[in-house]
Amino acid sequence: MSVGVCELCGSPAISVCSLCGRLVCPDHYGPGGVCSVCRSAICSFCGVRLSVARCVYCGRLGCESCLVQIDNVRRACRECLMSVEVKVEEARRGLERLRSMVAKLKESSIA
Ligand SMILES: [Zn+2]
Ligand SMILES: [Zn+2]
Ligand SMILES: [Zn+2]
Ligand SMILES: [Zn+2]
């Protein structure tokens, strides 16, 4: 028994997309119970919700809850934000090391 026709290609539909509610055929119905249109727009982090934007660092699509708003227009994923924070922290430590080295050099040149 067919439920209707695929809204993407017109073939007999077998299921309904759980995200957009489109009727879809086996060709357009995929893992997770979503249609191919939604799959291409789905969050690449949780794979559950529709993506709203791309991470400014890695360019991956993410949903509202997987991306963090970093300013008015930009969003970044948690992974990138974490690695950016680590880099900033590393740079800061490196600078401190450099400063203490310079301070030691100055001390030794005075003495
Ligand atoms: Zn189809
Ligand atoms: Zn869909
Ligand atoms: Zn997500
Ligand atoms: Zn990212």
Q: How far apart are the CA of 10 and the centre of ligand 1, in A?
A: 6
Asked if 51 and 97 sit in the same domain, the reply is: yes
Q: What is the pLDDT of residues 77-111, one digit of tens each?
A: 999 999 988 899 999 999 999 999 999 999 888 76
In this structure, which ligand is nearest to the CA of 30? 2
- Indicate which ligand has the atom closest to the C-alpha of 77: 4
Spatial CB neighbours of 106, under 8 Å, sequence gap ≥ 6 = none
Q: What is the pLDDT of residue 62?
A: 96
Measured at the alpha carbon of residue 73, what is the angle toward residues 69 and 78, in degrees to the nearest 5?
25
How far from chain centre, in Å, is Cα 19? 19
The total domain count for the chain is 2
Say if CB 16 and CB 34 are below 8 A apart. no
Protein residues within 5 Å, CB atom, of ion ligand 2 = 17, 19-20, 22, 35, 38
Structural domain harbouring 56: 41-110
- Do 47 and 36 share a structural domain? no
Looking at residue 67, what DSSP letter applies?
E
Q: Please give the distance, rounded to the nearest whole angstrom, from the Cα atom of residue 65 to the centre of ligand 1.
A: 30
Average pLDDT over residues 54-67: 95
